[in-house]
Structure 1
Amino acid sequence: MTPDSIRITDLGAPELTERQRQAIASAPCIEMREEAVLAAACQSTGLSDFGADDFRERLRIWLKSFDEDAGLGPLGRAGMFGDAVRYAASRLRFEDLVKRYPQINDIEIQRPIIVAGLPRSGTTHLVNILAADPRLRSMPLWEAMEPIPVPQEQMPGGEDPRITRTRQAWGEFETLLPYMPAMHEMSPTHVHEDIELQGLDFSTYLPEWQSRPSRWRDYYYRHDQTPHYRYGRRVLQALTWLQGPNRWVMKSPPHMENLRPLMATYPDATLVITHRDPVAVLQSAITMIAYGDRIRRHTVDLKELANYWTDRVEHLLRACVRDRDSVPADQSLDVRFDDYMADQQSVIERIYTMAGLPLTADTNARIQAYLNANPRGKHGRVVYDLKGDFGVDIAALRERFGFYYERFSLRPERIEGERP
Structure 2
Amino acid sequence: MARVTELMDRACATTGLAEFGDDSFREGLEILVEAADREARFTEMGAAAFDAQIVDLLSCRLQVEHWYARHPEIDEQQIVAPLIGLGLPRTGSTALSCLLAEDPAARSIRNWEAQAPCPPPELEKQDSDPRIARAEAAMERRDRLFPRMKAMVPSSATSPSECQTFMGYDFKSQLFQAFANVPSYTEWLNHRADLVPTYRYVKRVLKLLQWRCPPTRWRLKNPSHSLFIGALDSVFPDARFWMTHRNVAQVIPSVADLYFELGSAYSDAADKPALGDLTTDFCELGMSRMIAFRDAGNDHRFFDVHFAPFQADPFMVIEQLYDWLGEELTDTTRARMQAWRAANAREKHGSHKVDPTDFGIDVATLAARFAFYTGRFGVAG
TM category (shorter chain) comes to over 0.9
Q: What is the distance in 2 between the residues matched to 1:262 and 1:121?
A: 21
Q: Which residue of 1 aligns with 2:245?
A: 275
1:392 and 2:356 matched: no
Look up the equivalent residue of 1:216 and give its one-letter code. Y
**Contact 1:37-1:81 within 8 A present in 2 as well:** yes
Secondary structure at the residue paired with 1:114? Answer: strand
Q: What is the distance in 1 between the residues matched to 2:376 and 2:150?
A: 33
State the Cα distance separating 1:331 from its structure 2 match.
2.6
Equivalences for residues 223-302 of structure 1 within 5 A: 223-302=193-272
Q: Which residue of 1 aligns with 2:180?
A: 211
Secondary structure at the residue paired with 2:250? Answer: helix
Q: What is the distance in 2 between the residues matched to 1:216 and 1:93?
A: 26
**Contact 1:113-1:355 within 8 A present in 2 as well:** no
Look up the equivalent residue of 2:290 and give its one-letter code. C
What is the number of equivalent residue pairs in this alignment? 380
**Contact 1:294-1:300 within 8 A present in 2 as well:** yes
Q: What is the distance in 1 between the residues matched to 2:120 and 2:159?
A: 21
Equivalences for residues 92-241 of structure 1 within 5 A: 92-149=62-119, 159-220=128-189, 221-241=191-211
Deviates more, 1:171-180 or 1:368-377: 171-180
Secondary structure at the residue paired with 1:272? Answer: strand
Q: What is the distance in 2 between the residues matched to 1:95 and 1:382?
A: 40
Q: What is the distance in 1 between the residues matched to 2:89 and 2:125?
A: 38
Structure 1 residues 295-322: Cα deviation after superposition (integer angstroms, max 9, x where no partner): 2112332122212222122222221122
**Contact 2:172-2:193 within 8 A present in 1 as well:** no
Look up the equivalent residue of 1:35 and give its one-letter code. T
Look up the equivalent residue of 1:184 and give its one-letter code. V
Secondary structure at the residue paired with 1:271? Answer: strand
State the Cα distance separating 1:360 from its structure 2 match.
0.9
Equivalences for residues 349-364 of structure 1 within 5 A: 349-364=319-334
**Contact 1:32-1:64 within 8 A present in 2 as well:** no
Rg larger in 1 or in 2?
A: 1
State the Cα distance separating 1:325 from its structure 2 match.
2.6
The alignment's C-alpha RMSD in Å is 2.2
**Contact 2:100-2:219 within 8 A present in 1 as well:** yes
Q: What is the distance in 2 between the residues matched to 1:293 and 1:334?
A: 32
The correspondence for 1:322, drawn from 275, 292, 299, is 292
Look up the equivalent residue of 2:240 and give its one-letter code. T
Runs of 5+ unmatched residues, structure 1: 1-30, 413-420
Which runs of 4 or more aligned residues in structure 1 lie more than 4 Å from their structure 2 counterparts after TM superposition? 155-158
Deviates more, 1:126-135 or 1:304-313: 304-313
State the Cα distance separating 1:32 from its structure 2 match.
8.3
State the Cα distance separating 1:204 from its structure 2 match.
1.2
Q: TM-score, normalised by structure 2?
A: 0.94
Distance 1:48 1:327, change over 3 A: farther
Secondary structure at the residue paired with 2:176? Answer: helix
Q: TM-score, normalised by structure 1?
A: 0.85
Distance 1:88 1:137, change over 3 A: same
State the Cα distance separating 1:327 from its structure 2 match.
5.8
Runs of 5+ unmatched residues, structure 2: none
Look up the equivalent residue of 1:385 and give its one-letter code. D
Distance 1:391 1:228, change over 3 A: closer
Q: What is the distance in 2 between the residues matched to 1:327 and 1:233?
A: 24
